[in-house]
Structure 1
Amino acid sequence: MPTRLLDVGISDSASIIKLVQPNPDLCDRYVTLSYCWGKGEKHFVTTSETIQARRDGIDINQLPQTLRDAVTLTRMVGVRYLWIDSLCICQDDLKDWERESAQMAAVYSNSYLTLAAVKSGDMNGGLLSARTP
């Protein structure tokens, strides 16, 4: 079980998600997101300065499109928890980053489902794209 997960709630209409430390007895499944951060742009991440704000709540409308789509799809498959590396690992805490990144293979392999943003070159490209039937 990852140290931190995003609680996306159970309602499609909820606009706030929270960074939580899951109770393994109550959290039996979570979704992971695989995506490209992109280059040279400001990324939406958790740091030692923002971690408490992430625990208090994140307005999903502030998230880049790929992350927002991941929240939507996680809710659609009926799963309450989502793991996104940029938000669930404290990016400016070297000890946290080393500990959590060492567990990344297990985080992905133990997830209920991994969403992959294969067509997007950055956090803003989204997971979903229009297709011509």
Structure 2
Amino acid sequence: MKRKFEMSSLGEMTMFLGLQAHQNNQGILIHQSKYVHDVLAKFSMTNSKSIDSPIAERLLLTEDPEGSFVNHTLYRSMIGSLMYLTASRLDIMFAVCQCARYQANRKLSHLTVVKRIFRYPKGDPKLGLWYPRDSNFD
């Protein structure tokens, strides 16, 4: 990168825009474990149990006309936090996008699914993107 860009070396990169990078001689792991812990604390979910999947199998979210409304600021904040987490956690992308569709008409049933998504990365916060040293991508 020094050949293409004017820059100074501050040592090995460990954090960039909230993404943590761990480098070794086998490759680079990019994850957001600190962000996972911070966002769980922000939404008072640090004591919640972790789960094995971000969304229930064959879950079909609907508008839920009979359900009770939830705070729009809380719901949108939670969705925004999860959207940022998808930068390194592609495994939650589908579930987050399903819930994001109901930001204008959010109900308690939708918030329950969002909270489930938060419990999923708690089980393995260091899961992220692995780039092996010998990969051939440019």
TM over 0.5: no
TM-score normalized with structure 2 length: 0.23
Higher helix share: 2
Structure ID, larger Rg: 2
